[in-house]
């Protein structure tokens, strides 16, 4: 079970050989889109607006205000990143 030792060194824990054998039958894996899989922490990459009269700047401002007191990890990211963007845009 050399591979489980190597995997453990990379932070991947495998319960046992039977689990590894069962994993060979997997045909699909579904991941969420929070960014935690590849980056280790969520981030805002893009803002898209759909069929309304608000600009991206207005939506950014509203989202930052709505999430400002959030304790949820994604709410904190939205608030922090949008408030930083608003501050940068104000200084430019």
Active site residue 32: yes
Contact 63, 56 (CB under 8 A): no
> Which of 18, 32, 45, 53 does the annotation list as catalytic?
32
Question: Strand, helix or coil at 44?
Answer: coil
- Expressed in percent and rounded to 5, the helix, strand and coil fractions of the chain are 50, 0, 50
Which positions are annotated as active-site residues? 32
């Amino acid at each position: 079970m050399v591979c489980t030792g190597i995997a453990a060194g990379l932070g991947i824990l495998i319960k046992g050989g039977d689990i590894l054998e069962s994993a060979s039958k997997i045909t699909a894996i579904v991941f969420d889109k929070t960014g935690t899989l590849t980056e280790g922490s969520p981030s805002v990459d893009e803002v898209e607006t759909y069929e309304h009269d608000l600009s991206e700047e207005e939506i950014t401002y509203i989202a930052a205000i709505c999430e400002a007191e959030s304790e949820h990890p994604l709410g904190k990211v939205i608030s922090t990143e949008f408030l930083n963007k608003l501050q940068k845009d104000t200084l430019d």
